[in-house]
Chain A
Amino acid sequence: MDRKEILSELKKVLAPYTESKEMLDGINEQTDLIKDLKINSANLVDIIIDAEAQYNIEIDFDAAEKMYNVGNCIDVISEKINKPA
């Protein structure tokens, strides 16, 4: 799965957690989850749980801490997908 494909699937994972639907449609690798998409910081754990289920991966604490913008999320997800546990 390339970064573009991950990004388009990530949109679906993020959708329930943002009220900024227009901003979500136009996300790019620089989009910040909290500042741009106005996602409640407490919901980041829900996004991680949903991403784990979506991609059948495990995201540990250290990796999760890096997931604050779309680019970081794709980094972590693509790394885990390519190196299955």
Chain B
Amino acid sequence: MSNRVVITGLGVVSPNGLNIPDFLHAIQNGISGIRFIPEYEDLKFNCQVSGVPEFEWEQLRNYITETSLYGLKGKGIAYGIKAALDAWTDAGNEIVSEDTLWETGCVFGSSVADTDVIKTAITRVDARESKKLGSRVVEQIMNSGVTAYISGRLGLGNKIINNSAACATGTQSILMGYEYIKFGMAKRMVVGSCEYVDRYVFGGFDSMRVLSRKFNDEPERASRPMSASAGGFVPGSGAGALILEDLDFALARGAKIYGELLGGSTNSGGQRNGGSMTAPGPEGVVKCIMEAIANSNISANDIDLVSGHLTATIADKLEIQNWVQALGRSGDDFPMVNSLKSMIGHSLSAAGSIETVAAVLQLKHNFVHPNLNLEDPIPEILDIIGANNLPTIKVDKEINTVAKANFGFGDVNSCLIISKYKND
């Protein structure tokens, strides 16, 4: 069995674009979605900037029923619903189906259930008012809330799974959906991830001293992957979604095809040999990328673009070293590299899916989006891959194959290989 898996729909809720056309425009033109957050100054956070989508609840009105929208407070779920349903309609489908779609499933990821909703529950319960919580709390504080909303709205009847692997969640969720189709268990999967970073989650990272703190008065300069003046990442929120389909299933219904998901790999360094709870071990990363390439039946030389994890911490240098080792390419022979995080920050679980959406758009429209704030690349990175592979403005270029990877807490790695669809 060798079912080919193609990408037929895209949806995004990003700090720099709430739909695919706006997001495409933003990543082509290097538009930042990072803003100063006055509340974070008030809370005495070191980092006072964040990537927050300009989302309004009203935007969901045509996505779910009025009764469902009434009482929905979880923003991560809301982002996920919007991205997933946008991807679904982008793939040429109607939202409302009378019958259960047994051939279609959903793998959607998230890191934390909405803490704003949890906070309401905690406050009420502690005030001995649990009676007033109502029926809508549990469905929004359960980790599977987002998949329950998406699958219920679309009538999906195949595997419905919420996935969580920290910052590797997005790419891992996409890979899981791919595997179900590849192995004949589903014909179509709605895949992606969402994240709403509220003040409590933000505070946890802030206390770890891993966030950008020197650019609070220049928010658009704050997220600086691979820059020598980078001082930590900028948290962000949002969601990304893709519709994956069995090739024959997609062709039979005349679907437009953005590209083919050739394969991928996910593993862990086991938190050994340099890997830890918070840092990816080089061996695992290299193995993950090499396996993704092997599983996709391509050569490392076929890769035109590396969409890195590259968060703007001290790990960036090591990540580039790992890519060099895994691809066996360096200097001008290395592919172009970019990090979407320079525009929107690091949206944790949502990062992988939003970045995969960006990767598919670069493949489809033949360009490499710029790296913002990379006027001063880290010297060791320049030494091994050269300045030509670190674009700071959009580069128009034929892109046939993209490698997209993310690395998460727990030493979990995930890498996807996406290519143009070729009928052969």
Q: Which residues on A are within 8 Å of B, measured CB to CB?
A: 16-19, 39-40, 42-43, 45-46, 49
Stretch at the interface among B9-17, B64-72, B108-116: B64-72
Please name all residues of chain A whose beta carbon is closer than 8 Å to the beta carbon of B70 when the two chains form the complex.
16-17
Query: A16 to chain B: which residues have CB within 8 Å?
Result: 66-67, 70-71
The answer to whether B67 touches A17 (Cβ under 8 A) is yes
Instruction: Confirm or deny: B135 has a beta carbon within 8 angstroms of a beta carbon on chain A.
Output: yes
State whether the Cβ of B134 lies closer than 8 Å to any Cβ in chain A: yes
Residues of B within 8 A of A45 (CB): 134-135
Return the chain A residue nearest B136 by Cβ.
A46
Q: Does B253 contact A (CB under 8 A)?
A: no
Considering the complex, give the chain B residue whose CB is closest to the CB of A21.
B66
A62 CB to closest chain B CB (Å) equals: 15
Among residues of B, the one whose C-beta sits closest to the C-beta of A43 is B135
CA gap between A7 and B73 in the complex, in Å: 29
Residues of chain A within 8 A (CB-CB) of B422 are none
What interface size band does chain B fall in? 10 to 19
Q: Are B131 and A49 in contact, with the CB atoms below 8 A? A: yes
CB distance from B144 to the nearest CB of A (A): 16
Secondary structure dominating the interface of A: helix
Beyond A16-B67, A46-B136, A49-B134, 18 extra complex contacts between A and B, CB < 8 Å = A16-B66, A16-B71, A17-B67, A17-B70, A18-B67, A19-B66, A19-B67, A39-B67, A40-B67, A42-B135, A43-B67, A43-B135, A45-B134, A46-B71, A46-B134, A46-B135, A49-B131, A49-B132
Looking at the assembled complex, report how far the CB atom of A35 sits from the nearest CB atom of chain B, in whole angstroms. 16
Q: Whole-angstrom distance between the alpha carbons of A16 and B70 in the complex?
A: 7
* Assembly CA distance A17 to B134 (angstroms): 13
Q: Which residue of A lies closest to B138 (CB)?
A: A42
Q: Within residues 126 to 149 of chain B, which ones have a CB less than 8 A from any CB in chain A?
A: 131-132, 134-136
Chain B residues positioned under 8 Å from A49 (CB to CB): 131-132, 134
A-B pairs, top 9 by smallest CB distance, nearest first, are: A16-B70, A42-B135, A46-B134, A45-B135, A46-B135, A49-B134, A17-B67, A49-B132, A43-B135
User: CA separation between A26 and B30, bound complex, in Å?
Assistant: 55
Chain B residues in 8 Å Cβ range of A40: 67
- Shortest beta-carbon distance, A21 to chain B, in Å? 9
A contact residues around B131 at 8 Å (CB): 49
- Which residues of the other chain, B, contact A42 by a CB distance below 8 angstroms? 135
Most A CB atoms within 10 A — which of B66, B67, B132? B67
> For residue B69, which residue of chain A has the nearest CB?
A16
Please indicate the chain B residues that have their CB under 8 angstroms from the CB of A39 in the complex.
Answer: 67
Within the assembled complex, what's the spacing in Å between the Cα atoms of A46 and B67?
12
A residues less than 8 Å from B134 (CB atoms) = 45-46, 49
| Residue interface mask B64-91, A partner, CB < 8 A = 1 | 0111001100000000000000000000
Inter-chain contacts of B136 with A (CB < 8 A): 46
Determine the residue in chain B with the shortest Cβ distance to A38: B67
Bitwise interface map of B from 193 to 218 toward A, beta carbon under 8 Å scored 1, else 0: 00000000000000000000000000
Instruction: Name which residue of chain B comes closest to A53, CB basis.
Output: B132
A-B contact pairs, 24 of them (CB 8 A): A16-B66, A16-B67, A16-B70, A16-B71, A17-B67, A17-B70, A18-B67, A19-B65, A19-B66, A19-B67, A39-B67, A40-B67, A42-B135, A43-B67, A43-B135, A45-B134, A45-B135, A46-B71, A46-B134, A46-B135, A46-B136, A49-B131, A49-B132, A49-B134
Q: Mark B40-69, 1 if CB is under 8 A from A, else 0.
A: 000000000000000000000000011100
Report the bound CA distance from A18 to B67 in whole Å: 6
Complex CA gap A40/B136 in Å reads: 12
Residue of A nearest to B132 (CB): A49
Contacts of B67 in A (CB 8 A): 16-19, 39-40, 43
Least CB distance from A52 to B in Å reads 8
Instruction: Name the distance in Å between B343's Cβ and chain A's nearest Cβ.
Output: 38
Bound CA span A53–B381, Å:
62
Which residue of B is nearest A45, CB measured? B135
